[in-house]
Every structure is written in structure tokens, then in C-alpha cells.
Structure 1
Amino acid sequence: MAQQRRAGLTWVELFIVIGILTLMMALLLPMVQNAREQARKASWKNYLKSIGLALHNYHDTYRFFPPGGIIREDDVAMHGWLMMIMPYLDANPLSVMIDYDQPWGHPANIPVFKRSIPYYMIPDVDLGLTSAGHGLTQVLGNPNLMHRNSSVRLRELKGGAAHNWFAGEIAGNYQPWGYPFNWRPLGTKLCDGPESFGHSAWDGGHLLLVDGRVSFFSDETSPEILRRLANAPPVATRDQTAVPDKTFQIGNFYWDRFELQSDPQGKNKYLVQVLHNPTGTPLQINVHVTKRFTPEELTYHKTSIEVLHLLSQITPSTDVASTLKATTLAEATSPAQFAANVKTLESLQKQLLKK
């Protein structure tokens, strides 16, 4: 009588199948990773193209490219070019939230500058925040075109738009995107340390050219080619392109926020934003007021833009009760609510890391 065949796989056959699947995964994984990296590069190129379009739209409006930074006569740095092109990057709500009478780093402008802007960061890269709670940029500009109080016009580019550059991604020493000194000399080699341009994972970097193209340059690009781009006229003076000697501390700093007690039927609500260091210790406490939207207003995005107005920054020496009494919060709360708010803020205040 013929022997009945056993159903299923033997251990040897199972190991062979597993080996084949493992080999296929090993062969496919680099292809998948390469496809993802190419998609990241394509998205990043589109971001840079959007920045280029925004710069030209700014030029169409004002007849010159945005200043690299607005620096007052008393040397107070106000706002930079990455902020000025916001209305042309589908980010106009941010531009209307800025207090332009205050410098970029003032607590009143924290609600805007704490944000991370996708256009200014390579996709899927999270560098964290600065120790002051500011969002970062991996894009810096051409100091010959955008520097202190500059107003360079397109017709001043003697070598033509195709032979000059606007901006590119940097290799390190990242800065807040709101910083009014977001420019850097191109240099003659990419991916050559934290003060250079490029992205080391790509063995090179992208440059946004003034004609709107985004070109990739290898880290093996001839120094002469980069030198020609760097020196394309107009060439700014050393005084025009001078920047503070400052390096920003970057890490897993994070913001937390909560609402203070107040009349739920009142026209305003009161919010506290707290910056923490990576260990969770509070570094900043800012009290803001904003409009309380009705359910109907919340259904329309354009009418429900949350604009925060600074009431107070709580420091280790702040008299919390007296400070809050001098604001509209005192009128918007019952005595019990006011007392509870003071207690909450004083508790946070005791945890503040003293500088």
C-alpha cells in the first residue's frame, strides 16, 4: 500500500522559505529607503521653489526683495526676511499675529515664532527648539541680496537671475526662523562643517536660484563654481552682512499651555504658555489673552484665527497677584477664580529655573 503524503512543510522547507523571504526583504529595503529619500528631496525642492516664488511676489509688490533683517538705528533687531515672505507662503495668519512694534524675540511674539514652519525645514527632520522656545530654519539666504536693511532690486543683478542664488539648506548651526540675521556666505565647499551649506545625508545640497530653479550641487562641486555664485554681483559690504557672534542652544525644549479660570460666557479667554527644558523644568511663563470664539465662528477658518496678546511674563521676581490685578483678567473672574489663578501661577513660578 502506497505511503500517504504528510500535509504541510518540513522544517527544512520552512527554513528555506524564511531564508528566501529574508533575502527578498534585504534586497527590497534599500530600494524602499531610496524611494523615500527621493520623495523627501522632491518635497524639499518644492518647498524651496515656493520660497523663490514668495520672494518674487514680494518683489512684485514692493519693487525690491525683502531686507535680510530690519535693524533699527539703535541696533535692535526687529524682523527678518523669512517672516516678511509669510503672506506669500499661504501663511498670512502668522503675519497678522505679529506685534511689529516689538522685536522678534519679545514675549509678545512667542506665539508665532515658537512654531515650526514646514517650508523652512527638510521633511521628516525634527531639530527641536531653541532654549528660548523658538522654531528653527534650515534655510539661510544670500547675504549679497538679503542683509541689514537691504532693498536689492532684480535689475541690480548684473550677471542675470540664472547666475545668482537666493538661499539654500545649511549643514549646521541652525537658527530660529524669526531671527533677523538669517543669511550666510556660500563658501567654496558644501557639507564642510556646521557653518557650510548642504545636507550631509545627501552628499551635497540644494540652492534656490534667482530665476526660480532649484539645483542640487554635490559636495564634490568645483570650488570655482561656488565661488562664482558667491561673488555674483551685487556684492554687499562687510558692514551690511555683519551678524552677531551667537550660537543657539537647540534641543528637546517644548511648550505647554493651559487655560486660566475665567467667565465661560466672557468675550475673552486667558491662556498660559510655559516653556520647559528637556527635563521638564519651566523656563518661561507667559500669560496671554485671546478672543473666545462662538461655535458659529469656529466653523469658518478665516474668522477664527487665534491671536494671542501678551498680558504678562512671569519671572521669579514677579508679584503674581498684583500683576494680574492690573490686567483685564481681574474683571473677567470671580474672587474665587482669581485666587485659583494666582495660586496656579505662583506654583509654576516656584519651579522656574533661575538664569
Structure 2
Amino acid sequence: MNADQPNDERQIPRNELQPRRDWLTPVLKFLALFAIVGLVIAMLLPAVRSSREAALRNSCFNNLKQIGLGLQNYASVNGHYPPAYTTDAAGNRLHSWRTLVLPYYGSSPLYPSIDLTKPWNDPANAKAASAVVECYQCPSLAFDDPKSPLTTYLAVVTPESAIRAANSRTPEELEKVAANALLVIDAPKEKAVHWMSPEDADETELSEMLNSDNAQLQHAGSILLGLFADYHVAAISKETDQAVLQAMLNASPDATTSTEESQTAQPTDANDSPR
């Protein structure tokens, strides 16, 4: 080409020959960051869930300890555990042991308002029946009504148990078997009753809770939390040996099998005497 001839070809910068990708880099960075954050959250969720379950179980544990303190104080004053329920002259059930131990937790504004001569659901007791007693509510449960008066803390009532329909045992009678005499359990949600209602669990119901595949136990690991007569709280699993369970229910000085001899019902706290 002649040097004097004009050159019509424009010199195009090299970078203009390439597609512009400036917008792509921040998008890719954002997507990568989003994926990393999602992965971290997915890794942390089981730990957070486990921590929450542990906290709820610990709160339930403390509720049972509080109930144990009330039962201990009642027994110290009256010489025996409360009856599972009170009755009128005709034998009709009136009030639960949960009502009877209210004043032994400390100052209770509810107890003076309760007419013990009338049934728990009589209009005369409507004010107390609508109240919620915090230590009777397992924090692991979520009822439709957040102010529900229902409770899953049930005494285990049999002819040989510590808490009975009549003539409940004295602490002295249980000295030889205090570690494995079962007083109260945290039952599944479907077994919930009004805290004032004279309803509890018997041997058959407890066996069903532990042996039925349909029983929805609210604590991780398919366990029941139980309060024992020496006021420790232990986890009772579905694998608990039947002989050990029977010894817990009988609360008999002749029982030779204790929870200490089995690893299926483990104390949940080394320092679990009531405070």
C-alpha cells in the first residue's frame, strides 16, 4: 500500500474485540458467598437444634426438681406424701396432689382461693382453674394456647407406689429404695391433663408410653424424665429392663434391683438434691 494513500481501516482497541464481562464478576462472587453462607448455616443448624433441645430438657429437669421440693416439704410437714387425689364422702375425686402441694413451693396466691370441699372444676374454683402454674408446664411442649393450664407431669399411681390413692408412703418407708422409687414422670403430650384434675398414670399407662411405637415422647432420644423419691431426676429410656421398671413402681423395701444397677435409667445430674 502506498504510504500517501489514506488508510480507511480504523484501529480497534483490543479490549473492544472481547465481550464485556464486568457485570459477571460481582454476580459470581455473590453466588459463591451465598453458597458459603448456606453451607455454614446447614452445618450449624444441627448444633443449634441440639443446644435448644438441651436447654428445654434442662428447664423440664428443673421443673421436676421444683416439684420434688414441694413433695419433700409436704412430706416433712405431714409425715407422708400427698394422696394422689382427695375425695368427698361418696368417694368422688375432688383435687389432685398437684393442688395439695401448692403451698409447699413457697408463697402461692392460688391456694387460698381454692375450695377443697368442692371439685376442682366447680365454678367456685374457676379462678384457680384458669391459672397457669409455671413449674407444671414442660417447656418442650407447645400447646395451641400458650396459656394452657394443661400439664404432663403425672404421678405414677399403683397399689405399691410411693404416691397412692390413699395412705401414700412416708419418706422413712422409702429409705431403702429411695433411689429407684418413682414419684412423677413427664408424660407424652397426648397424656396431658389439667393441672388441678385428679388424673395421673398407672402401671399400664407407663408401660404403654415406654413400649408403644406410637408414643411421642417429647425429649430427644425417646426418653421420659422421671422424679424419684430421693429427689434426683433420671432419664428413663424405652430400653429400660422390665425388672428395673417394676422395682421403680413397687417402691418395695424388698426390691433388690435399683436404677444404680442398670445403665438404662441414668441420672441427669450429679448434684440433683432439691434446693
Same fold (TM over 0.5): yes
Is 2:98 the partner of 1:79?
A: no
1:173 aligned residue (191, 207, 219)? 191
Matched with 2:181 is: 164
SS at match of 1:13: helix
CA distance in 2, matches of 1:42, 1:219: 20
2:162 aligned residue (133, 141, 145)? 145
Matched with 2:218 is: 199
- Amino acid paired to 2:169: V
Larger radius of gyration: 2
Matched with 1:223 is: 242
Matched with 1:33 is: 49
User: Alignment identity in percent?
Assistant: 25
Matched with 2:270 is: none
Choose between structure 1 and 2: higher helix proportion: 2
1:210 aligned residue (222, 229, 232)? 229
Contact 1:68 1:80 in 2 (8 A): yes
Matched with 2:113 is: 97
For the aligned residue pairs, the C-alpha RMSD in angstroms reads: 3.1
SS at match of 2:143: coil
Is the alpha carbon distance of 1:90 and 1:123 closer, same or farther for their aligned partners in structure 2, counting shifts above 3 Å? farther
SS at match of 1:212: coil
Q: Deviations over 1:214-264 (max 9, x none)?
A: 0112222222221221222279xxxxxxxxxxxxxxxxxxxxxxxxxxxxx
Matched with 1:304 is: none
Is 2:63 the partner of 1:47?
A: yes
Is the alpha carbon distance of 1:234 and 1:109 closer, same or farther for their aligned partners in structure 2, counting shifts above 3 Å? farther
User: Which has the higher relative contact order, 1 or 2, with Cα contacts under 8 A spaced 6 or more apart?
Assistant: 2
Q: 1:8: Cα distance to partner?
A: 10
Structure 1: runs of 5 or more not aligned: 236-355
TM-score by length of 1: 0.58
Contact 1:191 1:200 in 2 (8 A): no
Contact 2:174 2:229 in 1 (8 A): no
Structure 2: runs of 5 or more not aligned: 1-12, 16-21, 255-275
Contact 1:128 1:135 in 2 (8 A): no
The range that moved more, 52-61 or 96-105, is: 96-105
Is the alpha carbon distance of 1:138 and 1:190 closer, same or farther for their aligned partners in structure 2, counting shifts above 3 Å? same
- Amino acid paired to 1:27: M
SS at match of 1:92: coil
CA distance in 1, matches of 2:113, 2:128: 7
Contact 1:145 1:166 in 2 (8 A): yes
Is the alpha carbon distance of 1:34 and 1:80 closer, same or farther for their aligned partners in structure 2, counting shifts above 3 Å? same
SS at match of 1:10: helix
Q: How does 1:1-355 map to 2 (within 5 A)?
A: 10-90=26-106, 92-128=108-144, 135-143=149-157, 144-157=161-174, 159-171=176-188, 172-185=190-203, 187-188=206-207, 190-193=209-212, 198-199=217-218, 201-233=220-252
CA distance in 2, matches of 1:230, 1:195: 23
Is the alpha carbon distance of 1:197 and 1:10 closer, same or farther for their aligned partners in structure 2, counting shifts above 3 Å? closer
Count of aligned pairs between the two proteins: 231
CA distance in 2, matches of 1:83, 1:148: 15
CA distance in 2, matches of 1:126, 1:219: 23
- Amino acid paired to 1:138: T
SS at match of 1:228: helix
